[in-house]
Structure 1
């Protein structure tokens, strides 16, 4: 029989006592061990481990140095209750200190300032409470991190530390204009600076005629991807007729420039992946292909390799594929890393969603790939090609919630890849220096219906800032990224542009300029010309042209839209941006706009 000094507690068929338990610390947890009795001739003892708990259900705001959010963290570790208030940037700082594998809720101050603030504050705060709670719970559940000095100091501190960061701000206090202006304060040191983002471009070997390597201004490019070499049926690589000589000229010119531009060999491409699946299908084939690529890297003194496999477990341009492609790709990049060492670049050109697994669905965990790779290059273009119902080529986001392809935008790609465990700092945002010409009578892009007039008025009012004399500005900017229609006003334009010969095709930005459909202005931006009307799609944050008489629509990107995408990449902690392709620019006008958006 039980001693009278103990009270019976029945739990899962065990007769336990709840008197005075003994206590000890086991792996950082408080462990309670109770006395036990003989039950059915067996002696069963039970113990309970009190796991650390954390919650963030409340928040406050502070007005200094400008309105921002403080999240109230309540934690219980080893029976000790702790409460502290932290800014979002302090969680980011802890994440950097620990170099942990867990995910934080994404940076999105630029995105939230595209929406009415009545939604933005509640949406952002709710998302971050959930995300920051999950992050801290993951950290505290791992003994290695839980016992670290960084975590101890984080939970013990009561006063926010470090410089004010743009991501700490209360969205309703920042118009889009103010948010972008505040971002420039990085230069003065008033706002915490992020790592310097990468600005790069693809250089196809066929562009040598109009953009020879010797004429490239390498000061504008951190990385240039040389395109392409192709996997072949023997699992080695094939070069174009002049590929090796062009690559040698590119490497020599880059090294002679003294700017440190890295040259990376890209393998595959849309029309060059017929043998990729086979070349990665076995250990023997992977060794052969890796050997060929490493040999080329060593021969030409290259800085790495880029895998433009379009796409694993998907036909792409009609290529063979198989259910094990994604797993074989991981084996291949792991092999490449072991041969190339830690300093060489290993990147991959990818779609908006992670690679398809054996079940035909996007992988939900790509952290193992991220551990081996330097970057993935998100191809945020070709979302909508030439069509009688044209849509945006490269949407920044689904800003009106009306997109027919909500998973295909810069913002969607960032969310989808980071949710699968690929760090934002290793994601490069691809932007196009080309567009599409459609035979169409449309004057509004497909899937880009505008919100109601009342919503637009709300957006307009929220972005109105009072001037020092008490008046309102003469021009106002919508929060969702609209730009004024920049008609060319510098004299009469007599040339009539005719792009009907491009119907159904891509068109380089420089060729749009060359046709006269847009005209470069003195401020470096472009206005409409040649009988075309320039319009702005607020829902994708991209421009387009139309000529009703010619039933022609051109969807493309310009200095404004590219600078916005680059700013988006930078403000969301992405690794940088790249273009397809270097030779399609009007000189360096677009590249300069991108670099400006990246803060370079």
Structure 2
């Protein structure tokens, strides 16, 4: 190997006479030329990319013996351009790979649907698993009570890829009091954040999801605690997240946020930027868009409604790369008014009153999960229940005269025998939701404009709304891709265990996005 040229350390602002005189240094062999060029090229990357020097100055910074200025310039320009093209393609490839890797797939796992939770054979692509829920009130004390996960975290981890981040969600529907107390002042926020951080460390969680439904009001208790009594939460919510961010260090902080515009009380153009800066992911609950507070039928999670929700968040400054579009693994049903025109106009027809005066559920609406326990035909070897348990999992039916509730218990009160009663496993005094759902599956219709599946059961005055794999595919194309969102999320893994068709549709959507970006 030839020795290092004497002008190796020349400044780019100087001229080196040897560079212009081909007789000073002996010619380099091809191998030597490549050796020196590789060194010079790396040395000059800073000039090219940081200082943005011209090609002329770049050449003047290189000293290759045995070559005239013109020959050096020509050779290096030709080879350099090829290498630069290679580097550009490599950089673009890395950026694309980074973009694909950043496509979040967050999955909630709730404690009430665990009988058929799958393992890694079904959970490919899920990179955030969120165990739900820890009670919000647990973290307000100087000596907080211990949180006990419904499944050991190490067991839950085995259901997913080793790279999947395991998180815990705090709160959930109807659990807001602990958040209100924890967010009220600086001392309470600091205490809450420290307790959450300690809990994550104790159980080995990679992060936390704050599921406050909702800061500023419109929660389950909206009749007991009017929104005007929660106005301060509009200001304290961002401060609460900021305190958590400070204490959590490199742990993940995500939030679950409302899908309905009327629940955006704390999510405004003024408050939005204060919220987004503290969190890593925003799980948009773009489902339950029609609920028991409405008075006309519509899709609960339609394509158009979901798109409208995402646009609302973008309008208040949310970073699209932090947004995860939400999907629901259940169908919703609503009782319509007996004298409504739902036969002719099933979308937009009048609903019955769906909640009591105190805001509680009156049993005239509900959800049906996509589990074997609720949608599969009953096992052939059903036995009579002797322990009060009934349903698909128990392989038992209730004794004569008793009803099997949607949660799988035998009884005789309205709680067991009315809405959600499982007619395959006992007596039902009211409507059989299971039978109505089977009709919906058989005769359901697609609303191409709204992007949802629906069915009106005229015999029982029930309106059904749900997502199909086809609608899920549309959401990936028309929302996730079009709006360049960071990812998707679903509620919840244990609710799609009949045939996993919704989970599989989302996995296909993730792969499709990866292929299009690759």
Report the TM-score when normalising by structure 2: 0.57
1:598 aligns with 2:506: no
1:98-140 alpha-carbon deviations (Å, 9 max, x no partner): xxxxxxxxxxxxxxxxxxxxxxxxxxxxxxxxxxxxxxxxxxx
Matched-pair contact (CA < 8 Å) for 1:347–1:376: yes
- Number of aligned residues: 339
1:166-189 alpha-carbon deviations (Å, 9 max, x no partner): xxxxxxxxxxxxxxxxxxxxxxx9
User: How has the CA–CA distance of structure 1 residues 309 and 260 changed in structure 2, closer, same or farther, with 3 Å as cutoff?
Assistant: same
1:246 aligns with 2:150: yes
1:414 aligns with 2:414: no
Deviation at 1:354, TM superposition (A): 10
Paired residue secondary structure (2:255) = strand
Matched-pair contact (CA < 8 Å) for 1:569–1:576: yes
Paired residue secondary structure (2:221) = coil
**Residue 578 of structure 1 is aligned with which of 489, 492, 495?**
489
1:327 aligns with 2:235: yes
Deviation at 1:301, TM superposition (A): 0.6
1:565-584 alpha-carbon deviations (Å, 9 max, x no partner): 23321342111111111111
- Return the alpha-carbon distance in structure 2 between the equivalents of residues 192 and 419 of structure 1: 26
Structure 1 unaligned regions, length at least 5: 1-147, 153-161, 163-188, 398-408, 449-501, 517-527
1:509 aligns with 2:370: yes
Matched-pair contact (CA < 8 Å) for 1:390–1:555: no
**Residue 385 of structure 1 is aligned with which of 291, 294, 302?**
291
Give the helix-richer structure, 1 or 2: 2
- Return the alpha-carbon distance in structure 2 between the equivalents of residues 255 and 425 of structure 1: 28
- Return the alpha-carbon distance in structure 1 between the equivalents of residues 504 and 318 of structure 2: 28
Please name the residue that 1:442 is paired with: 342
Deviation at 1:323, TM superposition (A): 2.2
Q: Which has the larger radius of gyration?
A: 2
Deviation at 1:388, TM superposition (A): 7.6
User: How has the CA–CA distance of structure 1 residues 539 and 363 changed in structure 2, closer, same or farther, with 3 Å as cutoff?
Assistant: same
Structure 2 unaligned regions, length at least 5: 1-49, 55-84, 86-92, 350-362, 379-436
- Return the alpha-carbon distance in structure 1 between the equivalents of residues 140 and 475 of structure 2: 37
Matched-pair contact (CA < 8 Å) for 1:254–1:260: no
Matched-pair contact (CA < 8 Å) for 1:233–1:275: yes
Please name the residue that 1:554 is paired with: 464
- Return the alpha-carbon distance in structure 1 between the equivalents of residues 323 and 200 of structure 2: 23
1:303 aligns with 2:169: no
- Return the alpha-carbon distance in structure 1 between the equivalents of residues 243 and 321 of structure 2: 23
- Return the alpha-carbon distance in structure 2 between the equivalents of residues 529 and 309 of structure 1: 34
- Return the alpha-carbon distance in structure 1 between the equivalents of residues 196 and 267 of structure 2: 29
Deviation at 1:535, TM superposition (A): 0.4
Paired residue secondary structure (2:310) = helix
1:373 aligns with 2:279: yes
Deviation at 1:379, TM superposition (A): 0.7
Matched-pair contact (CA < 8 Å) for 1:354–1:420: no
Report the TM-score when normalising by structure 1: 0.50
Please name the residue that 1:292 is paired with: 195
Matched-pair contact (CA < 8 Å) for 2:138–2:145: no
Give the strand-richer structure, 1 or 2: 1
- Return the alpha-carbon distance in structure 1 between the equivalents of residues 449 and 116 of structure 2: 34
User: How has the CA–CA distance of structure 1 residues 446 and 232 changed in structure 2, closer, same or farther, with 3 Å as cutoff?
Assistant: same
Matched-pair contact (CA < 8 Å) for 2:120–2:159: no
Deviation at 1:254, TM superposition (A): 1.2
Paired residue secondary structure (2:464) = strand
Deviation at 1:542, TM superposition (A): 0.6
